[in-house]
Structure 1
């Protein structure tokens, strides 16, 4: 039997897409704590900088709760979720490109936290 996307109803599509987004969100959250071990060897980061890199995510995530509440009321959940997916996707793609430059990597991690926090805010 051939998969037919059109055979799904609107609500089923929304649930499926939110489930996929939630899975990607969770995977992104786990990747840097795993990848920081070989990255530290390659870029010679101290424990101090490892802490900054890993905690930068939290700055964006905490900020997203305030921004998310206002954004959903003003723009609607669909637009905010699309923007959140765009933010965390771009920051995930950019991360390896800026890994050698710590300020850019830390900013990218803040944007990742912001995007994932907005996504979680909308999906919950």
Structure 2
């Protein structure tokens, strides 16, 4: 279905980021996802861990908005990935869309397959 989710969810730094979110209550989880995206948009540069974490958070938000994903392992190990499908508020959706669109623009034709699908799920 998508190579983007395999790429973004299997990055070592992103696995650590997702692991850190597992035991958070919903309010803290949503805030941490939004904070990671906002930090990536405003302060991080491509290649920075914080930028990759923001892309990961934006990808989780895209899944919550209906993006298809093929990485069942990440969803099994991080249940919130599936649990909150259909629960992405407008602000989170907009911020995630901005970051994934920025990544599409940055990568151009070399963007991983499926990245556009994730971005489209947010619009």
TM score, norm. by length of structure 2: 0.31
TM score, norm. by length of structure 1: 0.31
The structure that is helix-richer by fraction is 1
